[in-house]
Amino acid sequence: MNYLIVGAGNASRPVARLLNHLGHDVIVTDLKEISEFKIEFQRSLIEMEKEGVILDLGNKNPDLNGIEAVYAPPTLPDSAPIAKLIKDSDVKILTNEEFSKIVNDLIPVDIIGITGTMGKTTTTFITTSLFKQAGYKVWSCSSLVNNLVSEAIIDGIVKGKADDCDIAVFELPHGTIGLLNSLDIKIGLITNIAEDHLSEFGGSLELYQKRKLILEKMSETFIANHSCFDLINPQRNDALYYALDEEVDFKGTIGDESLTIEYKDGSFTTPFYMMSYFFENSVAASAVALTYGVKESDIIDALTVFKGLPAHMEDVGDYNGRKVILDSAFLYDGMKITLDYFKDESVVLFLDHFDTLSVRDKAEVGELVSNYDIKTVIASGFNEVTQEVEMEAANELLDAITNPKINKVAVPDIETAAAETFKYSIPGDIILHMGPLIAYDRLTTVEKIMKGLDAGSKKYD
């Protein structure tokens, strides 16, 4: 079939790639030239072109000549000329539901789906570790592999991973859920829902919650953090719940370098050497594994050797006597957990620009940081999405810091911020990074940070 894919954005690219893989003739049209896309998106488009997709980029007036079917993303304005052409034509329109069912039919194994505002990447990683320890061949897709998880899933299908595994463990951000909204999920789990990404939902928390709860409708068994009880229970009274120190289906209790999990069929205690939010996410992963049938002994073995995951409270080494920790926390609750963990340390903190695809409350970040006696806060003004320096964003954050003990510095980018931490620190200090850019674009952001750390450690040795 001859398909026209409207737009080369985050929803359209995976649709185009999979349809081409299935033998259809696919054209992707977009108003923008390829050079106007971010580098990683350019790479995806070039790879698709090599596989046979026709790129019709920079076309201001696409048409439907010879086209039998169309996919248009939900973000396409009704006023767009191509949208009007589609409306007035009799071409078949491929919906997200139909595309999702195509994807579902290409995955022959059970799917574990994990969503939430915070902790979904960590929980996906830990869940994968538990199943691997139990001997499963796991196909895992998360933002650690590709920030756009829908592309990672399609890439796995194209490259045969879906047919070469025993189980699939998918992190499902709200964008991926929107596209793949009709999967058959064996066990679904939600870590929490906080106010984030609301700028993508017209400011509506209700619409954001509704998107997340698509996972509940897709799931045969559904597990949720107990904080979501009031939201989940009216929809599903057979849901299972997990939490720390609460009497729920899966209760976690923190010990001295240990974690105890109590559940209906028993309890066990495992050595556990991680910090901070890894405790609750490990309870979540254990709830999934136990529900699926993984043995306690395999869970204990996996959690005993668990070392964390990249850029989540990650110790990247000693630089000139300073311990450097990279953390991708960027929402209020997650940042508070991290800051509480280091509250008794001497900390120099460097922060991302907090706007990605979502516009966030920079002043709220500054107000939170004010509650801690941090030596210096260095804020970056570079917006990775717009690729522009927006110093007003950095200053908005810093202006909200009212603690007079905190020194405040605004810099143009995260590489400079990393380097400048050495100017304001001494041996024995903790250099701590927080912000959303690692979650948004981990490889590029970490590369910039490490480059800045290397330069700063030499400059201020």
Q: How many CB atoms within 10 Å of residue 95?
A: 14
Closest CA to 334 of 122, 63, 87: 122
* H or E, element range at 322: strand 322-326
The amino acid sitting at 274 is M
User: For the segment 336-389, what is each residue's pLDDT rounded down to a tens digit?
Assistant: 888 988 999 999 999 999 887 778 889 999 999 999 999 999 999 998 877 889
pLDDT value for 103: 97
- Residue 196 confidence (pLDDT): 61
- Which DSSP string do the residues of 353-421 spell out, in sequence order? -S-SSS---HHHHHHHHTTS--SEEEEE-EETTTTEE-HHHHHHHHHT---TT-EEEEESSHHHHHHHT
Check if the beta carbon of residue 71 is closer than 8 Å to that of residue 94. Answer: yes
Integer Cα distance of 395 and 381 in angstroms:
8
Among residues 128, 120, 341, the alpha carbon closest in space to that of 225 is found at: 120
Dihedral of the alpha carbons of 324, 388, 358, 196, in degrees to the nearest 10: 30
Q: For residues 150 and 14, is the Cβ–Cβ distance under 8 A? A: yes
Spatial distance between the Cα atoms of 349 and 147, rounded to a whole number of angstroms = 25
Domains in the chain, start-ordered, CATH in brackets?
Answer: 2-94 (3.40.50.720), 99-304 (3.40.1190.10), 314-459 (3.90.190.20)
How far is 282 from 277, CA to CA, in rounded Å? 9
Task: Let me know: does 430 contact 323? Beta carbons within 8 Å.
Answer: yes
pLDDT score, position 304: 94
pLDDT at residue 147, rounded to an integer: 66
Judge contact between 126 and 282, C-beta under 8 A.
yes
Strand locations in 256-302 (E): 258-263, 266-271
Those residues whose C-beta lies under 8 Å from the C-beta of residue 242, and which sit 6 or more positions away, are 223, 224, 225, 226, 248, 249, 250, 251, 252, 280, 283, 284, 287
Sign of the dihedral defined by the CA atoms of residues 412, 413, 414, 417, in that order? negative
Q: Given the structure tokens 């850029």, which residue do they identify?
A: 311
E strand intervals along 16-73: 25-30, 54-57, 69-71
Q: Which letter, b or e, does each residue of 297-314 get, where b requires 16 or more Cβ atoms within 10 Å of its Cβ? A: ebbbbbbeebebbebbbb
Q: What is the pLDDT of residues 115-151, one digit of tens each?
A: 998 889 889 999 999 999 999 999 999 887 666 899 9
DSSP state of 309: B
Low-confidence ranges of the chain (pLDDT < 70): 145-147, 195-199, 275-277, 311, 439
- Residue 106: DSSP 8-state: T
Count of alpha carbons within 13 angstroms of residue 319, beta-carbon side: 27
What would the two tokens of residue 154 be?
């399609």
